Chains A and B, each alone.
Chain A
Amino acid sequence: MERFQKLLEDPHKYAKEWKEKTGGKVMGYFCPYIPEELVYAAGALPVRVLSEPDADGISYRYLYATFCPKSRGVLAQGLNGTYSYLDGISHAQCCEGMSGAYSSWRLHIPHEHEWFVSMPSDLDNPWALTALRSEMSALKKDLEKWTGKTITEEALDHAIEVYNTSRSLMRQVYELRRAANPKVTGAEAFEMVLSSQIMDKEEHNKLLKDAISKLSGREKRDDNGVRLMMLGSDCDFGDATLTRLIESMGATIVIDRLCNGSNYFWNNVIPQEDRLLAITQRYWDKPRCAVKDETFRRRVVDVIGLAIDYNVQGVIYNVHRFCTPNHADRPPIIEALKKRFIHFHDLEHDGTFPMGDLQSRIETFIDVIRK
């Protein structure tokens, strides 16, 4: 399991080596509503732009203080050259924070290719689905022009298969966490998901299969502590620090509904004749994040369902400061948790994790659950 953590220690190493080895193009993306299968089918490597706290404040010149730490961290990574190996950059319409970061990124950090997916927010609307399907066609043409490669049906089928395999394997890992004594910790699972977002999934799938086969022989832990769920804004700043910290205090995070966690892989592409429609449908049907759950609320039901399935005792609702959509969803989710007597605690952070403060809160929260 340590190899996934190791991959994240230098999250750029793989992509750089891949580029050198294959001569291929690397496309960074901000939001997982980007149809990665299309990019992959074009022969490019999609990698997620991970955020790190903007300690130097380099992003403040371009983004005012009320942008969330994640958007700020992403832009800072671009400005300081960390992602200079990217050939292209892409984003899908989501929250204003990330859209702001993208708009400044594309202005100040030129790439040979950029693409913005007009991802609708009314995901109950059939015309919006049609519009998204047309976006896929436009993106396909654009990718072909950029890479000089025709995206064939075979290439699409292959990409769909690779991605579906990745998702199915991650679902297997997450299924193991339903057990009373899960053999994989939340931090480990999170590292597996996160590392899949920075490398070729075909290779990552091999690592996953190997890790899963070894998990069955793993010894059970004596005390898994209380069973927790993570919700809210992305909690990565490139690694599983927060998850690990929480788990060190007498808990196991058994499930999450995070953008860069379970949301990322939860559902597969269901193959159909119109491959682009199949891919469109997959992203359409993905568990909704806060910013895309704007009409008939599905997220609450989804979260409660997961909490029941995974026998969750408590939920940590972790929100970045200035994360609009997650702040908006917090009260209705909390109301639903209350009705089911599931404990919860809301955390807010600005990209830094003051240990003393966090420890006090989490320990007390765990104590309350235990009682």
Chain B
Amino acid sequence: MRKVLGKVLFYAFISIVAFLVIVPFLWMIGTSFKAREATYTIPIRWIPERPSLEAYQAIFSLTNVNFLRATANSFFLSFIMTVFPLLSSAMAAYAFAKIEFRAKRILFPLFLATMMIPAAVLMVPNYVLLNTLGLLNTYTGLLLPSLCSAFAIFFIRQFMMSVDNAYSEAALMDGASWLRIFFSVMMPLTRPALMTMGLFNFMGAWNNFMWPLVVLYNRDKWTLQLALGNMGNQFGNFNHYLMAGALVSLVPIVIVYLVSQKYVEQGLAIGGLKA
């Protein structure tokens, strides 16, 4: 009996919390179908008076920015900004976690310190740098600064440190190279951490606004966030367009999240996050 009550309370509680989280989205959906009427009204209108698909038709036929193209761009960009930084961070984390070398004591804090540098400090100088290198308006230019990610290095290092060294040491003494150990031992064992970091990288790249804004000129190269932000600017009062756009842009990312969930869960459970 007690158990049933406990379960009911649990479901009630979690449902209330979930409801609070979701309610704004319900309003978003309703608003996206409002056309010739005010968005904000007293009292709140959940269901539009004169529902219309105008907003959805509009976002898929924008002249300046192709919404679908922007979505594809975001996927591509987020993907390369997940994989490459992940590789470079894993390599660095490996060095810090597993290889004993003198410079470690200076370099690791140096990397950590970069986490504290405000983005504001770096933006304009990095922009000028890309301009000199002729990398403006390219995805390469966008990608390069993110190759050094102290956060990722820190995170992955923690996981690697908790992997037992016995097997690796034996292999090393038998003549295996550090590289070999990296690829055949460390990477598989820290896959969960890598998947988690990969998800974080992806989300970060997906949501990034300022840096792509100043680096990418071509509308064709624009990411989804830029397209949405631009819509926000152009459509000031056409809130229904913004809502429709925001909702549409959620769909792909939810799919990515669902797919990666499985791996992330597994991994986090195994690795744990201990200092």
- A, B assembled together: no
Q: Which residues of A contact B (CB under 8 A)?
A: none
